[in-house]
Structure 1
Amino acid sequence: MTERLSEETRGPLLGPLFDSGWAMVDGRDALWKQFKFKSFVDAFAWMTKVAIWAEKWDHHPEWSNVYNRVDVVLTTHDVNGLSALDAKLARKMDSLR
């Protein structure tokens, strides 16, 4: 079962994400990042790669795409906040970039 991140685990899991451009969402226990690409096709190709991992891990992002930009919010609705799955998916998104 997925658990909400404890205060002790937040630093080690989230610190490297903040260093790579992720930020906390105001008013929510959630992460946000904007990814920019050369074109719509590049953005959509990246979203497709991420979607395969999201489906495999049964953990789906909140995201929107406008031309070459993808805005992503990660949170775990089952625990009403951040879980290790959010950090895992964020790292995967960064690696697929």
Structure 2
Amino acid sequence: MDRLDDATISARLAEVPEWRREGDEIRRTVAAPDFRTAIAIVNDVAEQAEKLNHHPDIDIRWRKLHLALTTHDSGGLTEMDFKLAARIDAIAADHGA
């Protein structure tokens, strides 16, 4: 998958406003209502990640999830990162986070 240029990354970030760029990654923190919901979000993200064969880094801190996306094989951000970011946003919204 092709790496995106800076202009494209900026445009794509506008479509997923909860995410921010840090170098060759995009990151988001999701605050769930409680720990059980946080784990449900992680499980739903795992399902989508498996479907896309694209897996985020997830750090679970009680009810806060810190997620990071990059395409390691491409050495930076690709369309796949933004596709999964949008799915993660929908999952978080479905869980009230």
Match of 2:18 in 1: 21
Instruction: State percent identity of aligned pairs.
Output: 32
Secondary structure, aligned partner of 1:38: coil
Secondary structure, aligned partner of 2:28: strand
- The answer (yes or no) to whether the contact 2:13–2:20 under 8 Å persists in 1 is no
Q: Distance in 2 between matches of 1:58 and 1:12?
A: 24
TM-score, with structure 2 as normaliser: 0.88
Match of 1:79 in 2: 74
Q: Unmatched 5+ residue regions in structure 1?
A: none
1:8 Cα offset (Å): 4.7
Equivalent residue in structure 2 for 1:45, among 21, 40, 43: 40
RMSD: 1.2
One-letter amino acid of the structure 1 residue matched with residue 12 of structure 2: L
1:10 equivalent in alignment to 2:9: yes
1:12 Cα offset (Å): 3.1
Q: Unmatched 5+ residue regions in structure 2?
A: 93-97
Superposed structure 1 runs of 4+ greater than 6 Å apart: none
Q: Distance in 1 between matches of 2:56 and 2:20?
A: 15
